[in-house]
Structure 1
């Protein structure tokens, strides 16, 4: 299901992180990268934050030195341009976006291949979640918001890879995509804090490829709608899903938040996606 490669994620005993600080933290009040550790001498490390009308994104690049500062800068500009373009072109709250025009019946998705891809992904996730993720079951018609942010991150990440950056992390809220290695040369060390229960110790992961998507990170009720009733979902207080692709993980997390424990059946039978946190 739109996987560039299989996820490479290892669960780690928190005690082993005692002397190895996480590179990334998710689910804290201010999700953030930790202070970067030492880097190997043949790498260029860059951290950049960009704000669009709907989200903040942080990009961490651990680029090969041969790419040069100009090459790294070009890669970063390409990725940022992709994030901004998706916000302008597909944002459902923008009256002239392609999504808004599609909702008004002014265009067909087939006329715009990226829009067709977005619509196809929403349709596939509706089928995969037994209708619990349904971009059409919202007031006003089609709204891909449950996976649009993850789709934007994946497209920005593709820009980084095309420019020669194979080691990176991109974060937005409590979601992330990682690939390759952190600046210290090892896998990205990720601490996933519970979004609503601060007393729980974080889950610790080491990742070289994959994504984490979360719904319910703010503890705010009513932001996900039950597509079967149109009422605010109240089955869960938090849902976090790990897997190969952030758009899919985001959609699964949104659907799981709405469906409650019955949605855990989606992650059986050899699925590439797994529920990390599912609390109700």
Structure 2
């Protein structure tokens, strides 16, 4: 049976579209993401991230999950030449740029482990899919136009993959270039298609932080294809990106 459900979690709407699942599996996804929010949010005083940042627990006491997330943050900081940083000088530890993609990808892995083969999880526009919604048809993921929320730049068809977009149009200039400590500039939107959402989300954020050099860097990352719009409205698109329209 097909199930579609939406919840507000981690500060954004998250939808689950299961073409071969039940409400139980949908609830499993939401329960996991709620747990992640409690444990990893830098805005919660009792989260593991806040307690580590404030020195209330030591590095040797943190969970294997947080250790993994922090290792991912370090990896993308090194790959991006410091443009991506989870800990900026004078600011609290904030691994959210990795946490969301990692957590939603883990939810997809839970669904697969439960035997589901056709589903889509959409976390505020960052999407991970499995299989096809109907036989012979890919999941259709729209890339929002950076100037108009009612328009799309392109529609990507994906099966067993993920798409993530970093931009300033929803939350303002919230992505900081770790090399300067200032809001990133040069791009209006940066979309990455990858085999998994952990990779897509972290790569998109790091590339946006890098500015005009980001699209080329992202396109060179293993398994990644890109669609980017710079501040002059020029489009950079990987030729292999499965664009439907």
Q: Which bracket does the TM-score occupy, shorter chain normalised? A: 0.7 to 0.9
Larger Rg: 1
> Greater CA deviation, 194-203 or 166-175?
194-203
Distance change >3 Å, CA 61–CA 199, structure 1 → 2: closer
Counterpart of 1:162 in structure 2 is: 113
What is the CA-CA distance between 1:201 and the residue it aligns to? 5.7
Structure 1-normalised TM-score? 0.75
1:91 aligns with 2:37: no
Secondary structure, aligned partner of 2:104: helix
Moved more, 200-209 or 109-118: 200-209
**Contact (CA 8 Å) 2:192, 2:218: kept in 1 or not?**
no
What CA distance in whole angstroms lies between the structure 1 residues aligned with 2:99 and 2:4? 23
Q: SS where residue 204 of structure 2 aligns?
A: helix
Deviation at 1:97, TM superposition (A): 0.3
Cα distance change, pair 268–195 in 1 and its aligned pair in 2 (3 A): closer
SS at the partner of 2:169?
Answer: coil
Q: CA deviation at 1:51?
A: 1.1
1:50 corresponding residue in structure 2: 7
Other-structure match for 1:61:
18
- Pairing partner for 2:50 from 97, 100, 116: 100
Structure 2 residues without counterparts, runs of 5 or longer: 232-245
Measured in 2, the distance between the counterparts of 1:237 and 1:51 equals: 26
Q: What's the CA shift for 1:63?
A: 0.6
CA distance in 2, matches of 1:252, 1:94: 26
Instruction: Name the SS for the 1:149 alignment partner.
Output: helix
- Displaced runs of 4 or more, over 3 A: 108-111, 197-202, 267-270
Q: Distance in 2 between matches of 1:110 and 1:156?
A: 26
Question: Contact 2:10–2:33 at 8 Å: present in 1 too?
Answer: no
Q: Tell me, yes or no, if the aligned pair for 1:221 and 1:234 is still in contact at 8 Å.
A: no
Does the Cα contact within 8 Å between 2:195 and 2:223 map onto a contact in 1? Answer: yes
1:153 matched to which residue of 2?
Answer: 104
Tell me the number of residue pairs that the alignment of Structure 1 and Structure 2 aligns.
230
Residue in structure 2 matching 1:245, options 189, 196, 200:
196
- Change in CA separation of 1:258 and 1:188 when aligned onto 2, cut-off 3 Å: same
Which segment drifts farther, 225-234 or 85-94? 225-234
Structure 1 residue corresponding to 2:77, chosen from 119, 123, 126: 126
Q: How far has the Cα of 1:152 moved from its partner?
A: 1.7
Distance 1:269 1:240, change over 3 A: closer
| Whole-angstrom CA distance in 2 between matches of 1:199 and 1:140 | 35
Instruction: Confirm or deny: 8 A CA contact 1:103 1:140 kept in the other structure.
Output: no
Counterpart secondary structure, 1:209: coil
Can you give the 5+ residue segments of structure 1 that lack an aligned partner in the other structure?
1-43, 65-71
User: Is residue 190–residue 226 contact of structure 2 (8 Å, CA) maintained in 1?
Assistant: yes
Cross-structure match for 1:5: none
Relative to structure 1, the CA distance from residue 128 to residue 156 in structure 2 (aligned partners, 3 Å threshold; closer, same or farther) is: same
Using the TM superposition, name which of 222-231 and 132-141 deviates more: 132-141
Question: Quick check: 244-253 or 164-173, which moved more?
Answer: 244-253
Please say if residues 196 and 219 of structure 1, whose CA atoms lie closer than 8 Å, have aligned partners that are also in contact. Answer: no
